[in-house]
Amino acid sequence: MQHVKLLINIILLVLGLSVSYAARDIVTLGRTAIAPAPAAAGPAASIDNSGIGAVSGLGVNWGTVTYHPLPTDIVVQLLKDNNIKKLKLFDVEHEILTALTGSDIEVMVTVTNGQLADMGSFDVAKEWVKVNLTRYLELKGGVNIAYVAVGNEPFLKDYNGTFNNVTFPALKNIQNALNAANYSHIKATIPINADVYYSPDNNPVPSAGVWREDIADLMDQIVAFYHNNSAPFTVNIYPFLSLYYGKGKFPVDYAFFDGNSNPLMDNGAAYTNVLDANYDTLVTVLNKAGYKNMPIIVGEIGWPTDGDINANATLAQKFYKGLVKNLATKKGTPLRPNDQMNVYLFGLIDEEGKSILPGDFERHWGIFTYDGQPKFELDITGKGGKNTLVGAKDVKYLSKQWCVVSPSVTNKTALEANAGYACKNADCTSLGNGSSCSNLDYLGQASYAFNSYYQNFIQQSASCHFDGLATITTEDPSSRSCKFDVQLAPAPVPVAPAPEPAPAPVPDSAAGPSNSPSGSPSDQSAKSESVRSAFLSIATIVSLLFGLSAFHSL
């Protein structure tokens, strides 16, 4: 019995570690205001699951923390080709929303954490709605904006209460501003991390779920406001992170949907996967608060494909297949049987610009690669058969050439120094232990680092020198498990060549992602907005030093 209790305790305690790394912080208030739209339809009482294509209830997060973004029109066509009907964004981005005009894709836009304090003013909130929503709602054909995310996981413990006093006022003002503008059908909701609720150590089962003590009163106020406005509760849940932070103690099968794990029993209910257990812990808390029928959205859920021993395409495919099957059968959870779960996959495309403080997997959450190609076969319709993901079309690349170690070079010390330099200014997360390229020898690792740097700086000839240790080749050095990328072709702008890199590692002040500064404990467990801002500032400085436009998308 003791070992069963230990297993249960590990499972449910790890639920609170399902942190998200999707925080964005981009100011959007400075946009041109447009007059309000005419009165819209009244509030919807529940989440709309209608539509064809992807299985009902399935959406995706589109993150844009990348130095070499796919053209927006190509990504929007990718969404359409895969019949993805729900999209979550981490800001209000003009180019994306304009490209979505006239589509039937339902959109959630975001008020960033950095804007929450400003939204404490109702006048500012009204202006935000006017500037950031009205212009898109009134375009010919319009944009189907259904939700406004107010912040992103603002109550993470690692934020030390930074946003505790500003989030609820922002939520109220945004929703009230929507109502005042006759957009009451658009609902404001806070994407919240799963650490806002938990089950106590002495009874670690979903039916014992309670709010976290430090924000219990605040959460009661928030859910009451949701109820009064027919808005959903949004929570981010990451089974992969439960496994990752479980450090070998979390049962692997419990992260998936095969039913192979020893079930967690709770008042006769059997929980065979961590998603259902986490979800029903929240359901319990909402039930106790008096809101048994409150809609729930899983704002982020996913599985990375590189950067860790458990982050690979095989396990990601297994996870997503199980998840889609669950959605298609509408079996629900023990506390909400036969109920359609609504989820947004995290994410759509890999983002190589993200901080790797949480782990090397951080840049590999996409179901599509950096160039919009599917990483594995997946039927997101839930209908079975031969349906599978469709890749991006009309993608433009740089020349088919790579930067590798020159023949006959054997100076390991010099190679390691130059490779280290390259990796501080490019993405080498596929070289880590358990990653897709971890089996390369030191020559292969150096070649991978050189090429990553070379592609990141748009194949400038001076970016493939490395003290004379590197050469450009037209022979693809990729292997079955380790892919050497060719970067996307940028928009045609003048680019100055990069200077020849020094063999010594760069100073910390100009370091790449692996040396991003940490300003708080949150930097060690979650991708906080302060870390992202610091990282992007470093990337911009590096860009300027090299005289390149590779970082123009930041």
Beta strands per DSSP E along 187-315: 187-189, 191-193, 197-198, 210-211, 233-236, 264-266, 269-271, 296-301
How many domains is the chain built from?
Answer: 2
Beta strands per DSSP E along 175-268: 187-189, 191-193, 197-198, 210-211, 233-236, 264-266
| Residues 338 and 421 both lie in one domain | no
Q: Rounded mean pLDDT of 372-378?
A: 97
- Tell me, yes or no, if 106 is annotated catalytic: no
| Residues 279 and 337 both lie in one domain | yes
Instruction: Give per-residue pLDDT as tens, 215-241.
Output: 999 999 999 999 999 999 999 999 999
Q: Is the peptide bond before 347 cis (omega within 30 degrees of 0)?
A: yes
Q: Which of 93, 300, 351, 352 is catalytic?
A: 300
Q: How far apart are CA 241 and CA 195, in angstroms?
A: 13
Structural domain harbouring 432: 402-487+490-546
| Residues 282 and 422 both lie in one domain | no
Q: What is the CA radius of gyration of the chain?
A: 24
Q: How far apart are CA 219 and CA 426, in angstroms?
A: 41
> Is 231 a member of any domain?
yes
pTM of the full structure: 0.82
For residue 282, give Cα distances in angstroms to 123, 186, 314, 396. 34, 23, 30, 45
Q: What is the CATH number of the domain that holds 296?
A: 3.20.20.80
| Residues 353 and 473 both lie in one domain | no
**pLDDT given at position 493:** 53
Beta strands per DSSP E along 323-422: 342-345, 402-405
Per the listing, tokens 């975001």 go with 110
- Cα 385–Cα 387–Cα 393 angle in degrees, nearest 5: 165
Confidence band of 54 (pLDDT split at 50, 70, 90): confident
For residue 329, give Cα distances in angstroms to 100, 238, 307, 317. 30, 21, 32, 18
| Residues 435 and 530 both lie in one domain | yes
- Tell me, yes or no, if 377 is annotated catalytic: no
Residue 249 CB contacts under 8 Å (≥ 6 apart), including other chains? 10
Question: Is the model's pLDDT at 370 over the cut of 70?
Answer: yes
| Residues 167 and 265 both lie in one domain | yes
Q: Rounded mean pLDDT of 443-456?
A: 98
* Mean pLDDT estimate for the chain: 84
| Residues 351 and 415 both lie in one domain | no
Q: Rounded mean pLDDT of 275-291?
A: 98
Q: How far apart are CA 28 and CA 507, in angstroms?
A: 33
Per the listing, tokens 């005289």 go with 547
Confidence band of 260 (pLDDT split at 50, 70, 90): confident
Confidence band of 492 (pLDDT split at 50, 70, 90): low
Q: Which of 95, 127, 138, 153 is catalytic?
A: 153
> Is 394 a member of any domain?
no
Q: How far apart are CA 54 and CA 383, in angstroms?
A: 9
Q: Which of 385, 495, 378, 479 is nearest to 438 (CA)?
A: 479
| Residues 294 and 427 both lie in one domain | no
Question: Residue type for 505, please?
Answer: P
Per the listing, tokens 């658009």 go with 186
SS3 127: helix
Q: Which of 513, 366, 495 is nearest to 70 (CA)?
A: 366
> Is 376 a member of any domain?
no
> Is 396 a member of any domain?
no
